[in-house]
Amino acid sequence: MPPDSSVKIHSQEQEVVIALGSNVGNRIDNFNEALRLMKKAGVNVKRHACLYETAPAYVTNQPHFLNSAVRAVTKHGPHELLGVLKKIEKDMGRTDGLRYGPRPIDLDILFYGKIKISSDILTIPHERIWERPFVMAPLMDLLGSAVDSDTVACWHSFSGHPSGLSETWERLGGESLIGKEGMKRVLPVGNGLLDCSEKTYVMGILNLTPDSFSDGGKFQSVESAVSQVSMMIAEGADIIDIGAQSTRPMASLISVEEELNRLIPVLEAVLRMPEVIADLKVPYVAMHMRGDPSSMQNSENLQYNNVCKQIASELYLRVRDAELSGIPAWRIIVDPGVGFSKKSEDNLDILMGLPDIRAEFAKNSLAISHAPILIGPSRKRFLGHICSCPAANDRDPATVAAVTASVLGGANIVRVHNVRDNLQAVKLCDAILRRKVSHMK
């Protein structure tokens, strides 16, 4: 379609792609506020890219940026949308300072429907998409190999390359750029950023329940719970998972009030520890399970034709609901749910099939295919079944083996009871993976 600076569309919603950048102040808070103001102004986000910390371009003597992008729908015309975004930038403190210089928020329209626009103040597609890895990486995240074929074909044609966006991204360096100093794919936790390309993170388990299968009843007092958290941190845990509702098979669901009564006293005590981040801007873990703990092992919930494919498909629906409710993809962790509505052989297929799960996610969303994968095999019944260990506390060696398989297969976070032993396995696996990468260069 030829360039048209007079396009005015108000009667129907149009899909738009908007890039976000920030390097002044609390960058995550800036993103959250920008998304809130966009929604308030009639720009409704439907899909989020991952989050990237990137070195500054053009003007290099300034702090690192956070960059991402969103797909949204709006009834604003192109120039009206530009005005809306510029007002948000101004309201959030951006001034007409140095071009490409520091800013609390930067909002750029990358695409508007399937049209090209060229005016004195607006060019669509954005003229510098193709030279900027920090724009191309989030843009690629918004694609899915099996969805939006017409829109994606249009984006490809705008790129000016026969193979479209994928060719352009690969020409810039593609996935080989991720994890280097100039561009890291990160997960915000509190006021910090986790780089899952840097290491595998170990999540220590603290059960406050009287009936958990492994350690039920051990940590019901505040003092014993805080002591256990302190020990896990000393042993090297990166994250602490505090649970107040048992999810063992046939566990009874408790009320929200009872769960909070178990959780809040311990949480308040733990947050007084200087080692723990007190600002609860926590990620959202989307875990696969059919039914609930009382019904998850019923025969109808254990039927799979292709367990990895079906897990990815069912889990993606949960992720999409979370994203549409306002949880950005950059805060989402996916958990295939080892031991939840799975037979022993299904759990083994998961441990072997993490790349297949990622590939299935990629059909719908490249961003979700890049989300950190959490695996929690610790002391679970399938390990006891395979290794003839009826007592949960005797399953630590099998847990170490399952964690090893998980990390080598692509897990980014492992959830364990025994932090010390599993941390050693994780460190060895990370060293093997780094060595593998060095041989590929």
Task: Say whether pLDDT at 240 is over 60.
Answer: yes
Distance, in Å, from the CA atom of 231 to the CA atom of 248, rounded to the nearest integer, reads: 24
Tell me, what amino acid is at 211?
D
- 41 neighbors 84 (Cβ within 8 angstroms): yes
User: For the chain, what percent of residues have pLDDT higher than 90?
Assistant: 51
Q: What is the mean pLDDT of residues 367-374?
A: 96
Tens digit of each residue's pLDDT (9 = 90 or more) over 325-347: 888 999 999 999 999 999 999 99
- 232 neighbors 206 (Cβ within 8 angstroms): yes
Task: Say whether pLDDT at 244 is over 70.
Answer: no
- 19 neighbors 108 (Cβ within 8 angstroms): yes
Distance, in Å, from the CA atom of 425 to the CA atom of 397, rounded to the nearest integer, reads: 11
Task: Say whether pLDDT at 387 is over 90.
Answer: yes
Q: Please tell me the pTM assigned to this model.
A: 0.83
Task: Say whether pLDDT at 243 is over 60.
Answer: yes
- All domains of the chain in start order, with CATH: 14-186 (3.30.70.560)
Q: What is the mean pLDDT of residues 227-242?
A: 84
Task: Say whether pLDDT at 403 is over 50.
Answer: yes
Task: Say whether pLDDT at 389 is over 90.
Answer: yes
